[in-house]
């Protein structure tokens, strides 16, 4: 089964210039935890998670340095996004994507098309739907 069959196609994205507070409320309103950061052509530039917004890595860069962090629009997604994003492709199989997510402890991965543009997101919730379908199918087969 290809990831395109189960991925989420309704994309909520951000731009590198978008303020953190604005992005936080966009994610909250749309009930998402992963926000792909793209340019105008849907090229994936980075990924921001709700965890990045709650406490960016630079806040805890050293135990002897204290940083104050406010969730406001003075900082942008470009300031906190992860840029070395591991993604899957539309032609990949679900088991490959699940393995990547499991090995890296990801809650979601971006799905890129052949042109390397963002085409969807595959989340752990999407994979749970696949698991549920497989278990239901197995139950139906046992009843026959």
pLDDT at 19 over 90: yes
Q: Tell me, what's the pLDDT at 53?
A: 83
Please give the model's pTM, rounded to 2 decimal places.
Answer: 0.84
pLDDT: which is higher, 64 or 1: 1
Token representation of residue 95: 């088991």
pLDDT: which is higher, 33 or 133: 33
pLDDT: which is higher, 62 or 37: 37
Please choose, from the candidates 76, 78, 8, 88, the residue with its C-alpha nearest in 3D space to the C-alpha of residue 45: 78
C-alpha 51/C-alpha 12 separation (Å) is 17
Q: Tell me, what's the pLDDT at 141?
A: 83
In this prediction, residues 65-72 reach a mean pLDDT of: 61
Q: Tell me, what's the pLDDT at 64?
A: 58
| Sequential DSSP letters for the chain | -BGGGTSB-S---B-TTSBHHHHHHHHHHTT-SEEEEE-TT-BEEEEEEHHHHHS-GGGGS-TT-------STTSBHHHH-BSS---EETTSBHHHHHHHHHHHT-SEEEEE-TTSBEEEEEEHHHHHHHHHHHHHHHHHHHH-
In this prediction, residues 31-52 reach a mean pLDDT of: 94
pLDDT at 70 over 80: no
Q: Tell me, what's the pLDDT at 32?
A: 95
Q: Which domains does the chain have, with CATH numbers?
A: 3-142 (3.10.580.10)
In this prediction, residues 7-30 reach a mean pLDDT of: 95
pLDDT at 60 over 70: no
Provide the percentage of residues in the chain whose pLDDT is more than 70. 89
Please choose, from the candidates 126, 78, 92, the residue with its C-alpha nearest in 3D space to the C-alpha of residue 106: 126
Tens-digit pLDDT profile for residues 82-134:
999 999 999 999 999 999 999 999 999 999 999 999 999 999 999 999 999 88
């Amino acid at each position: 089964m290809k990831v395109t069959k189960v991925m989420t196609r309704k994309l909520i994205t951000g731009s590198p210039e978008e303020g953190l507070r604005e992005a936080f409320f966009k994610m909250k309103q749309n009930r998402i935890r992963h926000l792909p950061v793209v340019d105008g052509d849907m090229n994936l530039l980075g990924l921001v998670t709700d965890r990045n917004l709650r406490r960016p890595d630079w806040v805890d860069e050293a135990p002897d340095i204290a940083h104050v962090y406010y969730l406001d629009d003075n900082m942008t997604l470009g300031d906190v996004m992860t840029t070395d994003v591991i993604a899957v492709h539309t032609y990949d199989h679900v088991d490959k994507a699940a393995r990547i997510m499991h090995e890296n402890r990801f809650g979601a991965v971006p799905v890129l098309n052949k042109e390397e543009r963002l085409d969807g997101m595959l989340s752990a919730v999407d994979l749970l739907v696949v698991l549920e379908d497989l278990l239901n199918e197995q139950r139906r087969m046992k009843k026959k």
